[in-house]
Structure 1
Amino acid sequence: FDADRLAYTSEPLTSDVEITGHVVVHLNITSTREDGNFFAYLEAVKPDGVSCYLTDGQLRALHRKVWADSPFSALGPQHSYLRRDAEPLIPGEAAILTFTLHPISARVPAGYRLRVCLAGSDKTTFANVPVDGEPPILQLHRGPAGCYIDLPIIEP
């Protein structure tokens, strides 16, 4: 699964970590198309290299506008998915996509690593976006203003 996706794996954890709540993904991207699907997966990787699924989430770029007045904004960035709030990507211009993964509560033991996998499609579950023409060529920006995740860590 991970071999077909862009994956970032942490160093081994030095102590147990409890992740409880909504993981928030922040992607700073540039695309050659006006729309696209973005998928993120969070995994725990055992010391022997076996990965264990923790949670996932997805966002269609067209729906990236954060719904500031959502009654659920305490749970992380929300999106209305309304036509009036649609924001097509501008090819060649950077855009920020912020979305939550499904909520979790998991204790990841010391010695494990955390892995984030990113993908632009999930053909077993979702249709490709856009459905016509060439698939988008994506650039994920790195550095201080680049891509990152917020983990809801519960301190012991």
Structure 2
Amino acid sequence: MAAVPEGLPLVATVAQLAAARRLSRRGVLVRTPRTLEALGRMDTVCFDKTGTLTENRLRLSRVAGADGTVRRAGDPETADTVRTAARACPRLDGDGARPTHATDEAILDAAGDDPGWRQEEGLPFETSRGYAAAVGREDGTGP
């Protein structure tokens, strides 16, 4: 029987938990701290799934117009399309609140401020309904 200090398993567990905590501060999800020991022995890590390594933040990168042309989201030609899409994104609480869905948030970020638009009502996306919607008006229009 080998002589193993009784506290060694505890020290190893504490070290793994400390490493998991440090990684979580950098945005890494560690589900099982024991896997960190195995990860430390690896030379190469391969990923085969698109999106495995992400920032957990969606960004609008391209916009397809009604005519089928695809342009970068920042191009001046896409501004009207992106603004129209942003106006259809419901906010939680009217004008200033953040959207409830990450896709809506990405579209709103790409559109930028729209001071002339005021949302009147909004329906966040629900799977059972299958859509999200917003109703609003431009300043000086409507009743």
| Rg (Cα) greater in structure | 2
Relative to its length, the structure with more strand (as a share) is 1
Give the structure, 1 or 2, with the largest relative contact order (CA under 8 Å, sep 6 or more): 1
Relative to its length, the structure with more helix (as a share) is 2
Do they fold alike, i.e. is TM over 0.5?
no
- Give the TM-score band, short-chain normalised: under 0.3
Scaled by the length of structure 1, the TM-score of the pair is 0.23
Scaled by the length of structure 2, the TM-score of the pair is 0.24
